[in-house]
Structure 1
Amino acid sequence: MTEVSSLTGRLLVATPALADPNFDRAVVLLLDHDEEGSLGVILNRPTPVEVEDILEPWADLAGEPGVVFQGGPVSMDSALGVGVIPGPAVEGPLGWRRVHGSIGLVDLEAPPELLAKALGSLRIFAGYAGWGPGQLEDELAEGAWYVVESEPGDVSAPDPERLWRSVLRRQRSELAMVATYPDDPSLN
């Protein structure tokens, strides 16, 4: 088996050609990527469900909009917390595990007070996006995703519906042009 270069911490940005409605214009933060598969959360799918309705102790720490995000089509009945610890912290607080840079997973079973002072932003996700061994690599080879660097602000983008365009627009390549791709090319 060939070695897989880890994409953990990077963003998958759906290409306009991606036909799966679960990922239409999705921006996925990869939380884990290795030879056993990949796991990530969709950063730009807010739901109408308020964080306080399902995880009340975490509601005050959740960024705006204070809603649960649909992390993906897998295990929609489970919750994941993704938080950013600002600054050059060598080690995050108890209840936070670094994924990439200042982005990490939050243990939602931990008392929120453990993280309150250190946490710069928090998003709660219902479900996740998952790929089996080699599945994501196949999708990348088919041109379904653009792979770009993440920024800590992507996790807590105040206008998540515009994240797809803004992530593409900041690229220093022809990808910046894709940000102008119309929602329905037939109307062009």
Structure 2
Amino acid sequence: MRLRTSRFGLLAAGGCLVLAAALAVPIEQAVTARQPGREVTVRQLAAGKMLVASRRLADPNFTETVLLLIEYRTDGAAGLVLTRQSELPLARALPDLAPVAPLAMRPFVGGPVAHETVLALSRTACPGCRMVTRGVHLVNDGDMLRQRLASGDDDRTLRVYTGYAGWSAGQLAAEVREDAWRVVPGDAAAVFDGEPETLWRRMLARAESVLADRGTGGEPSGADVVDGLR
């Protein structure tokens, strides 16, 4: 598996990626009046934050998902879907990793862009692995990924993703203003949650519960949402 990195530091098989070409959620062209609460949420966007899809987000690529932002820059953003695990074992989905892949490990579909891209999130630090948020490190080197797999890491400490989600400049901020996403702090326990298929439902229910308890239309505290999972 020949892997190279793109301008966003993402691992690709056989070439570079153009992140700005990826579109996540259609946004109406009309300018929406900016609400102070939403603007506060937009300012929270950064690498290491998690996105929880709202109930109104109808794009099938992101319906009922939770994502971790691994890049957030003025010229675009990238994230990984944490909630869509493949039915195929890792050894079948990525045959080049078969010699070192644990039998029970299944990769995740990280997003609709560039399915030939292979990335991993590690709970422990490793050489050349950038820390995305506390306890979560991005593995974007093929040799390092093989080493981690060969060392016996399982999905409690290492998760492999094919593809990713991408946004062009300003697009994600526009989606947040349209109430497509809740923005919450990154959390290793959520990234490596043992029941990823129910993570979205639990995180969204917690966000809605916080709003109901406050009795206001403001945004819930991201920390409240994450703490509710523990």
Shorter-normalised TM-score: what interval? 0.7 to 0.9
Specify the alignment match of 1:59 in structure 2. Answer: 101
Distance 2:212 2:161 in 1: 27
Matched, 1:40 2:79: yes
How far off its partner does 1:146 sit?
Answer: 0.6
Which consecutive unaligned segments of at least 5 residues does structure 2 have? 1-42, 214-230
38-47 vs 117-126, which moves further: 117-126
Q: Which residue of 1 aligns with 2:189?
A: 153
Q: Does 2:133 match 1:94?
A: no
SS at match of 1:17: coil
The answer to which structure has the higher strand fraction is 1
User: How has the CA–CA distance of structure 1 residues 117 and 124 changed in structure 2, closer, same or farther, with 3 Å as cutoff?
Assistant: closer
Query: Shift in Å at residue 78 of structure 1?
Result: 1.6
The AA in structure 2 aligned to 1:136 is L
Would you say the 8 A contact 1:168–1:175 is kept in 2? no
Distance 1:175 1:28 in 2: 24
Q: Counterparts of 2:166 and 2:46 in 1: how far apart (Å)? A: 14
Instruction: Indicate the residue corresponding to 1:174 in structure 2.
Output: 211
CA deviation vs aligned residue, 1:140-180 (integer Å, no higher than 9, x gap): 0111001111210222222111010222344572279xxxx
Unaligned runs of 5+ in 1: 86-91, 177-188
Residue 10 of structure 1: how far off its partner (Å): 0.9
Report which of the two has the higher share of helix: 2
Alpha-carbon distance change, 74 to 175 in structure 1, aligned in 2, over 3 angstroms: farther
The aligned counterpart of 1:179 is none
Give the deviation of 1:57 after TM superposition: 4.6
What is the DSSP-based 3-state SS (H/G/I as helix, E as strand, rest coil) of the residue aligned with 2:119? strand
Shift of 1:33: 0.6
Mark the CA change 1:135 to 1:58 in structure 2 (over 3 Å): closer, same or farther.
Answer: farther
Q: SS of the counterpart of 1:67?
A: coil
Contact 1:169 1:175 in 2 (8 A): no
Give 2:40's aligned residue.
none
TM-score where L is the length of structure 2: 0.63
Report the identity percentage: 34
How far the C-alpha of 1:107 sits from its partner, in A, is 3.2
Report the 3-state secondary structure (helix = DSSP H, G, I; strand = E; otherwise coil) of the residue aligned with 2:64. Answer: coil
Aligned residues: 165
- The structure with the largest alpha-carbon Rg is 2
- Whole-angstrom distance in 2 between the partners of 1:168 and 1:6: 18
Q: In the aligned structure 1, how far is the partner of 2:138 from the partner of 2:194? A: 19
Q: Distance in 1 between matches of 2:161 and 2:79?
A: 10
Q: Distance in 2 between matches of 1:159 and 1:165?
A: 11
Is the contact made by 1:93 and 1:118 (CA closer than 8 Å) also made in structure 2? no
- Verify: 1:113 aligned to 2:147, yes or no: yes
